[in-house]
Amino acid sequence: MNQESLKILVLHGPNLNFLGKREPGIYGLKTLEDINSLLQSLASELGVELSIEQSNHEGALVDLIQSTFGVFDGLLINPAAYTHTSVAIRDAIAAVAIPTVEVHLSNIHQREAFRHHSYIAPVAIGQISGFGAESYCLGLQALVTHLRAT
């Protein structure tokens, strides 16, 4: 794969637009804008192009995932609460069949039992959780490494 042409879509799911205000003890003080700035800086270092979107709506996220087909090389997604409920998002990822990394700010396996199951994990190449905003950076690095190795 041409290393200079990698295009990655970053998707943020519901309520992530409230980062920095919402339950800072769980999600930290960084805002979504802070995370996006970190990702854009890292993408520049890695020589990849990012498109970043956020939606609180399941159907909009499905539409964005479907838009990756034939356009993007990889998907970095924090499906947030939809991780545990959305077969539609899972099916959209499976349908486009591009390498996907699932990320979470908190460690979903240390939280409530209903958060332990991910519909996304079986169709993702990997999952990174529990490192706050750094989960996104680790996820992007892992995705780029994977894409360049294929």
Secondary structure (3-state) at 53: strand
- pLDDT per residue over 1-57, tens digit each? 444 589 999 999 999 998 888 776 776 778 999 999 999 999 999 999 999 999 999
Mind spelling out the 3-state secondary structure of 91-117?
A: HHHHHHCCCEEEEECCCHHHCCHHHCC
Compare 76 and 29 and report the one with higher pLDDT. 76
Task: Collapse the DSSP code of 8 into the 3-class scheme (helix H, G, I; strand E, B; otherwise coil) and give the result.
Answer: strand
3-state secondary structure of 87: helix
pLDDT score for 106: 82
Active site residue: 12, 27, 82, 119, which one? 27
Reply yes or no on whether 27 is catalytic: yes
CB 73 within 8 A of CB 46: no
Q: Do 109 and 84 touch, CB atoms closer than 8 A?
A: no
82 in catalytic set: no
Catalytic residue among 12, 57, 82, 104: 104
Domains and their CATH numbers in the chain: 3-149 (3.40.50.9100)
Residue 47: per-residue pLDDT: 97
pLDDT 10s digits, 82-111: 999 999 999 999 999 999 999 999 877 766
Say which residues have a Cβ less than 8 Å from residue 117's Cβ, sequence separation at least 6.
84
pTM of the full structure: 0.91
- Encoded tokens for 143: 């995705």
pLDDT tens digits along 104-146: 998 777 667 766 689 999 999 999 999 999 999 999 999 999 9
